[in-house]
Amino acid sequence: MRIVSWNVRGINAVTKRREVKEEVRLMNPDILVIQETKKMVIDRWDITSIWRGRFKEWVFLPAEGTKGGIVIVWDVRKVKVVNNITGEFSISIQVEEAGGVNWWLTGVYGPASTRGRSRFWDEVAALAGLCGPSWCIAGDFNVTRFLSEKLNSTRKTSCMVEFDRLISDLELIDPQLRNGKFTWSNLRINPICARLDRFLYTKVWGETFQEGRQVLGNRVTSDHFPVIFDTGYARWGPTPFRFENVWLSHRGFEHLVRDWWRLSEAEGGPGYKIMRKLGLFKEHLKQWNQEIFGNVQSMKNDKRRLIDHLDREEAEGRWDAQKIAQRSAAKNDLDRAVLHENRIASQKLRVKWAKEGDANTKFFHKMLGVRRNKNCIERLCLADGTFTEDHERIKDAFVGFFQQLYTNEMEFSWEIEGIEWQAISPMKASELESPFTEAEVWKGICNSEGDKAPGPDGYTFAFMKKCWGVLKQDVMAFFEDFHRNGVVNKKVNETYICLIPKGSQAGRVEDFRPISLLTSLYKLLAKVLSDRLRGTLIHTVACEQNAFVPNRQMLDSVLIASETIEHATKSNMRGYVLKLDFAKAYDRVDWAFLDFVLKQKGFGERWRKWIKGCVSSANYSVMINGRPRGKFRGERGLRQGDPLSPFLFILVADVMGRMIDKAKLSGVVEGFRIGRDVTHITHLFYADDSLMFIKDSHRAVFNLMSIVNHFCSISGLRLNMDKCNLLGINIPVTQVVETANAIGCKIGGWPLTYLGLPLGRSPLSRTFWDPVLQKIAKRLDGWKRGFLSKGGRVTLICSVLDALPTYFLSLFRLPAGIARQMEKMMRDFLWQRMNSDKSWALVEWSQVSLPKKLGGLGFGNLMIRNRALSCKWMWRFFREENSMWVRLIKSIYGMNLNGWDSGGGSIVTYSAPWRFVMDCHDDFCKGIFYELGNGTRIAFWNDHWVGRRSFREEFPGLYALASRKYAMVGEVFEENQGWSLTFRRSLTAALGLQLTALLHSITDKHPRPDQEDKRIWKWDTSKAFTVKSCFYNLCSEVSNVPCSVYKTIWKTPGTMKSRVLAWLVWKGKVNVANVLQDRCPYLCISPSWCVLCKRDNETIDHVFFSCPLPHRIWLEMLNEVGWNGRMPSCLLDCLNDGEAHLLKGRKGTLWRVGMLALLWNIWEERNNRIFLGQDRDWEEIWESIKRKVATVLSGSKDFKEQGWTELTGNWNRLWV
């Protein structure tokens, strides 16, 4: 199905109609939605003038004079319309698909005036109710939703807020616009561009057309682009073999692997041999999957039909014990098939946050459709500016581009003299070349994610890990051969180039990022080599490079850049900031230059041979729409996706920094001199992200660019001058423009985005946080609450929404208003809140946002999280005193008298990140404990070094009279006389007793001159700072009531949805009749009646425990797990951690998992009886509980010897 929506701005002119007709012919839609026809009447002549051919029907909304007008036209051969609705601003048609499935399409033209918009919103909301769950709306809404949807927009208007709220309230999906940002332009010298046109649709309509995508057509006429929604997916042939991790769950799979591996014999070198065996082994897997494991969807359908058939026989009285067993087995098989489908979909999607069962398969398939659409390439802009949809031309364009990209262009020799290489020691070089051990290789497998996208061989690391006993001998033979010869067989080093669009507007070959998919064997080799190399980087890579070097972090670069810019701005320093961009940096690295760098840095000949063997034996194919195309060898470049590449690249990039350092020492280049110690900052690197700081001197700028260009000429890299930006600090704009034009780069503006964070703007401004707010809003648009259970929503919030702002929160102060807005978005998503109805929140947000150990769900509380994250900087400050960022902070702010922390500084601005870090110093000190050494860095009264807290807090009366309030411990202790405390006046009797207690507490404490004082983190058993422990203890100041069911709920294996239900049960916030009667009486159908027993009042304890139906199941479960303690008297007895842990080991695990499954099944049964009129007896529910338990525990550590059959049978047999 292809639907086109287009505001043509009138179809009265003959020329306009011809242009529209030609463009419609090229777009070839099934349905055409035209806005602004500017015609009162639309007849067949009008239709044929804009869409060629017969077989067209239409409905229209007349224009008001020469304003407005909508027409929807469809091809009757492809579309059957059975109904239509005409409104003030819209036309809707009802489309009937084959099989009787109906859906609605609405074409709209929104009013441009504010007065008419409220009526427009009301009409759209009414249509949502009239058109039902399967509905799509398209057209010109005459309003944008986000600031990014209008060029240079800085203010969010009220109509934007209303539009955004309407989309959220109606739970419409706003799909990404694939090949552009704006749909309208004023076509003037000073352009105004905006996204006014779009498609929106419900989740049900999206499920019907899962592979739909929204793209722009060509704007040949009108000031609007046509917007095309195409639901077809471009399939370029069969996809390569992919190992499905779900196969590993099949009982006896390892024995099959062992037999098949013996049958898959091959001759040749170790590398070729193992790849050949994997290829033969693949054929056994395919045959087994087809014959034994089976098609999951087909199995699901078969089992559903069988269960339906048996249900009908039961209703007709043809029933016996054999059929009961047959239906039970069929339900077991169906549950297993659903679980397998879930696992397959989650592996394809590679959702790191989801546990099996947390998100339903519908959600996985929906997200798969989104990913597939995002990566689908149907239309490409070629080098000559023309567009093509021809598969062969698209293939030729990509293969030709990457073949040229990986072709070496270096034609001359070069020399570098006079730079400090900082070579590694011969001992380190020798360690790198030591023989590979089995433990080292196994560690590489264990540290690799099992569901990462496989390469040309199709195998995942989950397969390697599970079948290591079978593969080990061949794999170690390959490593031994590589150690001797340093050669990688071309079959081992086959590579698929996976094309990842850099943004939603990717339309040219250059707009796709090449990520390499490698064979599992080569990836394992690269992983082992990179683990060895990582440890040497800190000894040879300069401090300005913060990528991939141990103990250096991305935020270090951002902190240095931000503090440098703030200090320079406030101290009236004049200078330039230059942001460099390298075009396809990894892909252009010259191999000969890389080898030269390794040699100069002290790496041995064998190691260099290994690296050469790894990078030079690669051969490529390009993955286009799921199919590998072309085959060619590379002559240069480092592959993105190769574990070795990041480390090799920063070794190459380090040379540029060394060249700049040499120029800085000779005075050729001068950067910013910052702080009292005059720290000289000229450059910062994070991999290829480069930021330069240059004093206000044309000569210095030109000299720096000469150095960079020389580095490019010898390394193979190339600057992308269109993306390089020059900015000035305290320099006139005209001078910045002149300098930028002279070096050939663009003029940038503040704030400057560096490593994803804005520099040069106050974090207290709303616009600073707009990128985070928009990311959260767009994620919510993509998910839509209806696809997920509460457990799925909790998982998404914890793993994605709560994590999105963390990068910003780790460095910058979060304004309270922004925190409230972010938390409101989380809260509304969690409770599926509609409009502003507060009644839908089951639990107060202040309780939800507490850590799980304190009775919450562990997300939110962003203000406290912000403070906890900032405390990490203070912990790192005194432990990384030689780091570049620490030296800069000391230079700007000085040191505190305690010798541990930074000082206050002379020029401090509220925008500086470190100002916020210092504001959190009191929070940090609450978690600090000092171990006494020589006593020179521990304050006697103010630091916590004895007892539960500092003496200032423990003895405030003594502290008030102390003569030396800031004295160090070493200053109040004399070797011969002991502790010497002085006070401003004589102490009262009560204070004398306090002094005695104080001295008694330090009787066995005295400074040791030969030892240093130590600062440890008392809130974690490791004695090292963790954000988690800091956050927990800061939250404890708000609520210090521990959660009595923490272990039972959150430390028990199971699905998140069952855990969240158990949490709500514990909170007493499940919507049973008596709760609804208090909160929402109008929703309470039977306020005093339990649907399970049809007798007693429905309370939480009744429906989950004391009602005869659940009570019978509780008794059965207690019997089968061998409970021998006191019988639980209420539901909280079962949930309570102390009671739950009366059963230890495997019995305890089974009890807790079974308890969560029981609660979920009882709640499901209650709802099915109320809303669907379906009921089951206790035995059926008990069988379902066992199937849920088997899903969770089958193959787990405690039950690895028991399979699905044993866990769905009588549990008493498990203990025999």
- State how far the Cα of 624 lies from the Cα of 380, in Å rounded to an integer: 12
- State how far the Cα of 558 lies from the Cα of 812, in Å rounded to an integer: 11
Peptide bond into 751 cis (omega under 30): yes
The two tokens of residue 733 are 């704009």
DSSP 944: -
Domains of the chain, by residue range, sit at 2-230, 245-364, 426-436+486-568+575-757, 908-1035, 1046-1215
Q: Is the CB of residue 723 less than 8 Å from the CB of residue 685?
A: no
- State how far the Cα of 1065 lies from the Cα of 587, in Å rounded to an integer: 56
Tell me, rounded to whole angstroms, the distance of Cα 642 from its chain centroid: 21
Residue-level pLDDT at 611: 98
Look up the pTM and report it.
Answer: 0.84
Tell me, rounded to whole angstroms, the distance of Cα 732 from its chain centroid: 41
Residue-level pLDDT at 836: 45
Architecture of the domain made up of 2-230: 4-Layer Sandwich (3.60)
- State how far the Cα of 352 lies from the Cα of 796, in Å rounded to an integer: 10
Q: Is the CB of residue 33 less than 8 Å from the CB of residue 3?
A: yes
DSSP 1048: H
Give the tens place of pLDDT for each residue, 1091-1135.
999 888 899 999 999 999 999 999 999 889 888 767 777 888 888
- State how far the Cα of 366 lies from the Cα of 573, in Å rounded to an integer: 54
Ordered DSSP codes for 289-326 = IIIII--HHHHHHHHHHHHHHHHHHHHTT---HHHHHH
Residue 172: enclosing H or E segment and its boundaries?
none
- Burial call 1175-1203: b when 16+ CB within 10 Å, e when fewer: ebebebbbbbbbbbbbbbbbbeeebeebb
Residue-level pLDDT at 100: 73
137, 143, 146, 147 alpha-carbon torsion, rounded to 10°:
160
Residue-level pLDDT at 504: 66
Q: Kindly give the parts of the chain with pLDDT less than 50.
A: 351-361, 834-837, 839
Residue-level pLDDT at 234: 57
- Write down the residue that tokens 């090799």 correspond to: 648
Helix, coil or strand: residue 907: coil
- State how far the Cα of 1140 lies from the Cα of 160, in Å rounded to an integer: 52
Q: How many CB atoms neighbour CB 316 within 10 A?
A: 8
Strand partners, 931: 1014
Residue-level pLDDT at 359: 42
Q: Is the CB of residue 952 less than 8 Å from the CB of residue 942?
A: yes
Q: Is the CB of residue 1159 less than 8 Å from the CB of residue 1153?
A: no
Q: What is the sign, positive or negative, of the torsion defined by CA atoms of 255, 260, 262, 266?
A: negative
Q: ∠340-342-346 over CA atoms, to 5°?
A: 120
Q: How many CB atoms neighbour CB 421 within 10 A?
A: 15
Collect all residues with Cβ–Cβ distance below 8 Å to 12 and sequence separation of at least 6. Answer: 38, 39
DSSP 983: B
Collect all residues with Cβ–Cβ distance below 8 Å to 1212 and sequence separation of at least 6. Answer: 1119, 1120, 1122
